[in-house]
Amino acid sequence: MLSDFRDAFQTIEWIMVHGGWVVFGLLMLYLFYELYIEHIQIEWYGKLKWVFLKITVPPENETSPLAFEDIFDELHAVQEKLSWAETHLEGQFQIWFTWEITSIGGVIGNYVRILPKFRDTLESAIYSEFPAAEITEAEDYFDKLPKFDPETSPYDIFGLTWKYTNRNEYPIKTYRFFEHPTAETMVDPISGLWEEMGKINPYEMFILQFVLRPIGDEWKEHARAFVQMLKGVPEYQNGHGAGAFTGAIMGWVEAFLGPVLDVFIRPDFEMKNSPHNKEEPPSLMLHLTENEKQIITQIENKIGRWCYHVKIHGMYIAPREKFNPTLLLRSVIGAFKAMGTENMNALKPVLSRWTRVKYAVFEKWEKPVTEFRLKWRKRKYYKFMKTRWWFHGPSANIMSPEELATLIHFPQLTVKVPQIEKVMVAKEQPPPDLPVAPGI
């Protein structure tokens, strides 16, 4: 036993003496670099000041969710191109903002948390589509709650996060699928969500939090390669495309060595029928079904838009003695399922991260462990939803403005929402020729 340890240490010593110390030093430098970047990023983020805004819905809204497509297109302007010095010396990174739909005692509200320098961008985007809306500063509803502790707080929470079930290139079913051109009407895909949120009890609270981070075109190159693969373009088959490094290497090897093998190894009669001599069609689009063609069209439409990294969190809050999240959560999860399809994409809760921990084999023996894990998850969920911290939970979904407008928009006149806060008094600018008394 001791001789085995001695041999292992001697091997490590030999490696370090013969150049291994260089590799070890580089690894340590990389580790210190990552710690340094994380430190300056947290320091920079801690200095940021945020503004919490309440958006009151216009009283008579006849605008479709298309208006919110334009709003999210304009809000994409919060994306900033950072220099090397800003990133590596100051710790800056691409910031995010949140759009939050809440039901506090059955009263539905819309809130946005954003940096003050982007407030004008938000207001101009909303007022250009909804002149009768109101945007005012408000107190964060989390600040009105007592400090949360899973053991001692008078209230309890249930948190969950929604994630795509398919690749990010596939969109969900948007509001355009719910339009009826002949009748000139639209069935609102989230009317059921508003209905359930408006029916909760006065002592209950539900938060639907969208954390939105604009992204550039860096993901689109792989997405376009994926589209070519779906179309059946020959050079994009056999693993070529997004992230398929091994497939790409094998493709290059085949391209260089294929003709050589044809000459020296394969028989002459096979050479005549070699796949290298066959003319392949540019794609297989003619052989695809209409449904497959529509899917490709939807993906291409998504690639052509300004997109966001999006994280969707939900939290139910109620007093411990009246805590019952089951009915509401089933309705909310069902509302999200209505926008999913098996052949494109859908939003489903990440069961491995929500605040419900199940035992593996023996419930009684594992109870201390499951209780510890449950309390830890609840603390984490509450902290990160209150601080709106981006670096939490599973990887983000890539969503287009059309997908976001399907989930986030104001109800139309045809949709009866029981208790949504609306503008009660219309405000107008005074006429330019209004006489003014002297001295005023």
The pLDDT tens digits of the residues spanning 18-40 come to 777 777 788 888 898 889 988 99
| Separation in Å, CA 75 to CA 72, 275, 408 | 5, 51, 14
**What is the average pLDDT value for the chain, to the nearest integer?**
83
Min mean pLDDT across 107-111, 227-231, 417-421 is at 417-421
Q: Report d(CA 109, CA 274) in Å as an integer.
A: 66
Q: Percent of the chain at pLDDT above 70? A: 81
Type of residue found at 233: V
Q: Where are the domains of the chain?
A: 1-47, 48-216+306-407, 222-294
pLDDT value of residue 124: 95
**Reported confidence tier of residue 236, pLDDT bands at 50, 70, 90:** confident
Does the 48-216+306-407 domain belong in CATH 3.30.470?
A: no
Mean pLDDT value across residues 390-405: 92
- Global pTM value: 0.82
pLDDT value of residue 436: 64
Chain CA centroid to CA 123, Å: 23
Looking at residue 422, the DSSP 8-state letter turns out to be B
Predicted confidence (pLDDT) per residue in 402-434, tens digit: 999 999 998 876 566 656 655 555 555 566 666
Q: Report d(CA 377, CA 408) in Å as an integer.
A: 27
| Separation in Å, CA 350 to CA 100, 212, 333, 347, 374 | 20, 18, 11, 9, 15
Pick the residue with more confidence: 279 or 387? 387
**Reported confidence tier of residue 246, pLDDT bands at 50, 70, 90:** very low
pLDDT value of residue 427: 58
pLDDT value of residue 366: 87
271 pLDDT above the threshold of 50: no
| Separation in Å, CA 30 to CA 27, 36, 44, 71, 85 | 5, 10, 21, 41, 18
Residue 270 in 3-state DSSP? Answer: helix
Alpha-helix residue ranges (DSSP H) falling in 166-244: 191-197, 220-231
Question: Mean pLDDT: which of 59-63, 353-357, 370-374 is highest?
Answer: 370-374
Q: Report d(CA 164, CA 394) in Å as an integer.
A: 10
Nearest in space to 423 (alpha carbons), one of 404, 414, 410: 410
Token duo for residue 197:
């949120």
Find the angle CA(114)-CA(59)-CA(330) to the nearest 5 degrees: 65
With beta carbons less than 8 A apart as the criterion, state whether 357 and 370 touch. yes
DSSP bridge partners of 207: 102, 315
> 93-99, long-range: CB within 8 Å, 24+ apart, which pairs?
93/41, 93/44, 94/213, 94/214, 94/215, 95/48, 95/213, 96/211, 96/212, 96/213, 96/388, 96/390, 97/122, 97/212, 98/209, 98/210, 98/211, 98/212, 98/388, 99/210, 99/212, 99/408
Predicted confidence (pLDDT) per residue in 328-370, tens digit: 888 888 889 888 988 899 999 998 888 888 888 888 888 889 9
Q: Computed from CA positions of residues 400, 401, 402, 407, in that sequence, does the dihedral angle turn out positive or negative?
A: positive
Q: Report d(CA 214, CA 390) in Å as an integer.
A: 12
Type of residue found at 38: E
